[in-house]
């Protein structure tokens, strides 16, 4: 009976399982890739060079929030609900693509402002501008629609090819005078992957070119504005800290912080990957039955919290071994900071499923004020603590901001939307 039930479950979710597998492989490579090149960058260019690479990489990823604009949530949800309507899918892809092109202009203007006012950007001009290729690569990423259509394989094969080419280029040509190669090759590999994936998708689905009018683009911007504010806020908290720290510490201290941040981000990334993988499935469950969604969300929440708890113990107990992967000597400073930072993923894990719930039920506008406030608090607290306590002050600021976000999201879910509170499954809509 168990075997028969398992076969039925697998058969019923075959497309989701297939898509999740390819998405898992993509995210696994994104997980492994920094682990492979980071020690090599540190060996060839030192902690100072590594810190600069991660600094400008983080800035580029943050600026890319403008072109992401929440399409990974809004776009995925719209295509999921209309995946059988090829005409709608065709037209919506072009509406989103045109909107991204317009938003790219704003992103470039922001990058120029950062260059003017951030001294390290102007000091390392070529490294900064070459890093902006990451922005270009992320702008045209089609994963938001491939996930919904369960056609991630189109993306996967090109992704593998260009990642291998990028790795070979970095491995052969990287030295202190060619530090720009790291972010440049990452950006180019992302752009070429997206370009060829879109071409294959276009011809395989027999799409026709569609030029959306101004009203369609305007509506897309207005519809996604609340999610955009939240995406920018989340990415500001995740990626702007190296820039804030860069105002107050030298390149060596920045390098120590970036090594530990890279480790913590990898752990957080694992949780984010799970949320991204199951988001289309969560939308489908929510559309069919609220009780089923709440059971699903509760189990997911418990799994994430338990996983992050284990991760905290691992990061603490094996800190020297983990740091030794990146550094072969002078590891004590990184080890101590890693132990101090080990429980950040657990605090983040507390708010992942509540936030997903708001996205699934299109209630994200209720959390906008929380995320905006968290960015303002982060800039103030991180700035003050970094100036006075350096890298430890920055870490303390991250703890306080993530705790503020978790408490606030749970308060909104419990007080304003008790029927969506997946911990209490007896509430009805």
- The predicted structure's pLDDT at residue 428: 46
Can you give the pLDDT at residue 167?
Answer: 92
CA 345 to chain centroid: 14
Rg (CA), the chain: 22
Give me the pLDDT at residue 144, please.
79
Task: Tell me the CA distances in angstroms from 132 to 36, 142, 181, 184, one per residue in order.
Answer: 22, 19, 12, 8
Q: Indicate the range of 21-25, 198-202, 334-338, 419-423 predicted with least confidence.
A: 21-25
Cα gap 47→44, rounded to integer Å: 9
Q: What percent of the chain has pLDDT over 90?
A: 39
Report, as an integer, the average pLDDT of 21-44.
Answer: 84
> Any residues with CB less than 8 A from the CB of 37 and at least 6 apart, and which?
167, 170, 182
Which one has a higher pLDDT value, 365 or 344? 344
Could you tell me which residue, 281 or 198, shows the higher pLDDT?
A: 198
Please tell me the distance from the alpha carbon of residue 294 to that of residue 285, in angstroms, as a whole number.
9
Tens-place pLDDT, residues 378-425? 999 999 999 999 999 999 999 999 999 999 999 999 999 888 888 875
CB neighbours (10 Å) of residue 117? 9
- Residue bearing tokens 């000091």: 123
| pLDDT at residue 9 is higher than 60 | no
pLDDT-wise least confident of 30-39, 257-266, 374-383? 30-39
Q: Mean of the pLDDT values across residues 326-355?
A: 91
Pick from 80, 408, 6: which is nearest to 276 by CA? 80
DSSP type of residue 363: -
Side-chain-side CA neighbours of residue 117 (13 Å): 8
What was the pLDDT predicted at 404? 95
Contacts (Cβ under 8 Å, ≥6 apart) of 263: 315, 322, 323, 338
Q: Give the tens place of pLDDT for each residue, 301-327.
A: 999 999 999 999 999 999 999 999 888
Question: Bigger pLDDT: 149 or 180?
Answer: 180
CA angle 43/164/181 to nearest 5° reads 50
Choice among 56-60, 75-79, 129-133, 270-274 with the minimum mean pLDDT: 75-79
pLDDT at 79 over 90: no
Percentage, residues of the chain above pLDDT 70: 94
Measured CA to CA, the distance from residue 309 to residue 51 in angstroms comes to: 28
Q: Give the pLDDT confidence score for residue 125 in this predicted structure.
A: 92
| CA pseudo-torsion sign 29, 35, 41, 43 | negative
pLDDT at 28: 80
213: left (phi over 0), alpha (psi -120 to 50) or beta: beta
Give the pTM. Answer: 0.77
Helix (H/G/I), strand (E/B), else coil: 429: coil
Cβ-contact 319, 339 below 8 angstroms? yes
Angle between helices 225-239 and 368-415 (to 10 degrees): 100
Tell me the pLDDT of the chain averaged across its residues: 86
């Amino acid at each position: 009976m168990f075997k028969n039930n398992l076969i039925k479950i697998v058969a019923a979710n075959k497309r989701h399982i297939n898509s999740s597998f390819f998405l898992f492989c993509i995210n696994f490579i994104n997980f492994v890739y920094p682990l492979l090149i980071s020690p090599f960058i540190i060996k060839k260019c030192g902690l100072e060079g590594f810190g600069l690479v991660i600094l400008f990489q983080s800035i580029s990823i943050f600026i890319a929030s403008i072109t992401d604009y929440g399409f990974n949530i809004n776009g995925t949800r719209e295509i999921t609900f209309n995946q059988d309507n090829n005409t709608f899918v065709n037209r919506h892809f072009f509406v989103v693509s045109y909107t991204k092109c317009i938003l790219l202009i704003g992103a470039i203007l922001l990058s120029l402002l950062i260059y003017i006012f951030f001294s390290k950007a102007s000091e390392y001009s070529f490294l900064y501008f070459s890093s902006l290729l990451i922005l270009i690569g992320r702008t045209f990423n089609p994963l938001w629609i491939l996930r919904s259509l369960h056609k991630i394989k189109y993306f996967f094969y090109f992704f593998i090819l260009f990642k291998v080419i990028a790795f070979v280029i970095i491995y052969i040509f990287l030295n202190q005078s060619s530090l720009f190669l790291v972010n440049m090759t990452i950006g180019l590999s992302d752009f070429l992957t997206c370009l060829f994936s879109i071409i294959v998708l276009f011809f395989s689905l027999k799409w026709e070119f569609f030029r959306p009018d101004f009203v369609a683009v305007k509506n897309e911007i207005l519809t996604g504005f609340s999610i955009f504010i939240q995406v920018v806020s989340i990415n500001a908290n995740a990626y702007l800290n190296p820039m804030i720290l860069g105002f107050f510490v030298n390149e060596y201290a920045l390098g120590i912080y970036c090594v530990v941040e890279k480790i913590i981000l990898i752990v957080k990334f694992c949780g984010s990957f799970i949320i991204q993988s199951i988001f289309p499935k969560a939308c489908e469950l929510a559309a069919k039955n609220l009780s089923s969604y709440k059971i699903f969300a509760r189990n997911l929440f418990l799994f994430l919290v338990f996983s992050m708890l284990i991760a905290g113990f691992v990061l603490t107990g094996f800190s020297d071994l983990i740091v030794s992967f990146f550094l072969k000597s002078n590891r004590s400073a990184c080890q101590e900071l890693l132990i101090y930072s080990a429980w950040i993923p657990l605090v983040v894990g507390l708010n992942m499923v509540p936030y997903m719930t708001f996205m699934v039920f299109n209630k994200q506008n209720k959390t906008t004020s929380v995320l905006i406030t968290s960015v303002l608090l982060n800039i103030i607290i991180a700035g003050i603590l970094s100036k006075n306590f350096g890298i430890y002050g920055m870490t303390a600021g991250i703890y306080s901001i993530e705790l503020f976000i978790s408490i606030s999201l749970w308060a909104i879910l419990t007080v304003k939307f008790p029927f969506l509170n997946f911990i209490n499954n007896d509430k009805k809509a």
